[in-house]
C-alpha cells in the first residue's frame, strides 16, 4: 500500500509518496499547487483532491496522512475554520468524507494531523531531532506553532495563542506580523515580511535592533516552555528560521546554561517534515 503525505498550508498544498522505513519523500511523486484560501468549497477541495491524486499516481490503494492547520476536528475530519482568514467556505464540512468520495479511498485510510505536530514528528524521527527522545518544536512564520515530542508521540500545544506574554499572547511578539508592525512603528516604513528585513540588516540599525528584540522575545517564551516540558532539544522551523543566524546565538547560549544543556537545532527537512510526520505513527 502506498503512503501519501500531504501538507496543507494557508495558501498551498504539497503531496508526495513517502517511504517511512527510510524516512524519505519520493521526489518523483511530489505534487504542489497554490490554493485560494477565500475560494469556494469546490475550488478548494478540487485543488486539494487533484494534487493528492497526482501524488497517488493513479492508484486507488493508499494511506493518506494530512498535516492540516486548525481549528479542525482531526479525528472526524470536520473543518472548524471560522474567522481565521482562510478556508471559511469549508466550515462544517467533513473533509475526510469529501476526500474519500473524490479519491476513491476508504475513510479509514485517511488520517489528519495538526500541522505543528506533523512538523515535529517528522523532525524528531527523521531530521534534526532524531538523536533525542524529548523535543520541543517551534514554527516561526505568520503565526507561532508549538508542539512537544515525548514517548514517541508529538502533540500540538497551541501555546502561540494561549501562552500569556507581555500585553498579549506569545504569537503577538513572535511572528512575521510582529516584525512588520514593529518595524513600521519604529521607522514609519513598510515592509512585506522578514525576508525583506534580512536584506536591510547590514544597512539599517533599526532592523538589527528588531532581530535583537525578537531573539529576546523568543528566549523569554522558550524559557517558560522549558519549565513545563523539560525538552532535550528545541527544533525551530518555519520561514523566519531562514534568518536563524540573526537570533540563534543568544538563544543557544542561554539553552546551554541548563543542566543538562538543552540543544538548539534548526529544522533540516523543511516541508518534508510535515509530509513524513503526517503518517509517522502509522
122 vs 158, higher pLDDT: 122
* pLDDT recorded at residue 235: 97
- Of 198, 193, 124, 184, nearest to 155 by C-alpha is 124
Total domains in the fold of the chain = 2
Residue 281 lies in a domain: no
SS (H, E, C) the chain: CEEEEEEECCCEEEEEEEECCCCEECHHHCEEEECCCCCCHHHHHHHHHHHHHHHHCCCCCEEEEEEECCCEECCCCEECCCCCCCCHHHCCCEHHHHHHHHHCCCHHHEEEEEHHHHHHHHHHHHCCCCCCCCEEEEEECCCEEEEEEECCEEEECCHHHHCEECCEEHHHCCCHHHHHHHHHHHHCCCCCCHHHHHHHCCCCHHHHHHHHHHHHHHHHHHHHHHHHHCCCEEEEECHHHHHHHHCHHHHHHHHHCCCCCCEEEECCCCHHHHHHHCCCCC
Residue 158 lies in a domain: yes
Residue 107 has pLDDT above 80, yes or no: yes
Q: Which domain holds residue 12?
A: 2-117
Domain closes at, from 64, 82, 117: 117
Residue 277 lies in a domain: no
Distance (Å, whole) CA 164 – CA 171 = 9
Residue 178 lies in a domain: yes
* pLDDT recorded at residue 281: 64
pLDDT of 4-59, one tens digit each?
Answer: 999 998 889 999 999 999 999 999 999 999 999 999 999 999 999 999 999 998 77
Do 133 and 219 belong together in one domain?
yes
Do 53 and 133 belong together in one domain?
no
CATH number at residue 93: 3.30.420.40
Do 156 and 261 belong together in one domain?
yes
pLDDT, mean of residues 153-168: 91
pLDDT, mean of residues 173-183: 95
Residue 48 lies in a domain: yes
Average pLDDT over the chain reads: 93
Do 251 and 151 belong together in one domain?
yes
Do 144 and 103 belong together in one domain?
no
Do 203 and 243 belong together in one domain?
yes
Do 140 and 103 belong together in one domain?
no
Do 22 and 101 belong together in one domain?
yes
Residue 271 lies in a domain: no
* pLDDT recorded at residue 250: 85
* pLDDT recorded at residue 233: 97
* pLDDT recorded at residue 83: 85
pLDDT of 54-105, one tens digit each?
Answer: 999 877 677 999 999 989 999 999 999 998 889 999 999 999 999 999 999 9
Quickly tell me which residue has 500585553 as its cell. Answer: 167
Residue 77 lies in a domain: yes
* pLDDT recorded at residue 60: 66
Residue 272 lies in a domain: no
What is the phi-psi region of residue 275: left when phi exceeds 0, alpha when psi lies from -120 to 50, beta otherwise?
alpha
- All three cell numbers of 267, joined, read 529544522
Whether pTM > 0.75 for this model: the answer is yes
Domain closes at, from 82, 117, 152: 117
Do 113 and 135 belong together in one domain?
no
Do 113 and 176 belong together in one domain?
no
Domain closes at, from 80, 96, 117: 117
Do 231 and 174 belong together in one domain?
yes
Do 235 and 209 belong together in one domain?
yes
Amino acid at each position: 500500500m502506498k503512503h501519501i503525505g500531504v501538507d496543507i498550508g494557508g495558501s498551498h498544498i504539497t503531496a508526495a509518496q513517502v517511504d517511512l522505513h527510510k524516512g524519505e519523500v519520493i521526489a518523483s511523486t511530489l505534487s504542489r499547487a497554490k490554493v485560494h484560501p477565500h475560494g469556494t468549497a469546490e475550488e478548494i477541495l478540487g485543488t486539494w483532491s487533484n494534487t493528492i491524486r497526482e501524488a497517488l499516481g493513479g492508484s486507488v490503494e493508499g494511506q493518506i496522512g494530512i498535516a492540516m492547520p486548525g481549528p479542525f476536528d482531526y479525528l472526524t475530519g470536520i473543518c472548524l475554520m471560522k474567522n481565521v482568514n482562510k478556508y471559511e467556505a469549508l466550515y462544517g464540512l467533513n473533509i475526510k468524507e469529501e476526500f474519500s468520495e473524490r479519491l476513491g479511498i476508504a475513510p479509514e485510510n485517511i488520517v489528519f494531523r495538526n500541522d505543528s505536530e506533523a512538523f515535529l514528528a517528522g523532525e524528531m524521527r527523521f531530521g534534526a531531532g532524531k538523536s533525542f527522545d524529548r523535543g520541543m518544536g517551534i514554527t516561526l512564520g505568520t503565526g507561532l506553532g508549538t508542539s512537544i515530542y515525548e514517548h514517541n508521540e508529538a502533540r500540538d500545544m497551541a501555546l502561540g495563542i494561549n501562552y500569556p506574554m507581555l500585553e498579549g499572547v506569545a504569537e503577538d511578539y513572535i511572528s512575521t506580523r510582529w516584525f512588520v508592525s514593529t518595524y513600521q512603528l519604529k521607522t514609519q516604513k513598510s515592509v512585506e515580511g522578514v525576508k525583506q528585513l534580512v536584506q536591510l540588516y547590514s544597512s539599517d540599525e533599526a532592523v538589527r535592533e528588531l532581530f535583537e528584540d525578537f531573539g529576546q522575545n523568543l528566549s523569554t517564551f522558550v524559557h517558560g516552555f522549558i519549565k513545563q516540558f523539560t525538552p532535550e532539544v528545541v527544533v525551530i522551523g518555519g520561514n523566519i528560521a531562514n534568518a536563524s543566524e540573526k537570533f540563534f546565538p543568544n538563544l543557544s547560549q542561554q539553552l546551554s546554561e541548563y543542566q543538562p544543556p538543552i540543544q538548539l537545532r534548526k529544522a533540516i527537512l523543511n516541508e518534508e517534515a510535515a509530509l513524513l510526520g503526517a503518517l509517522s505513527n502509522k
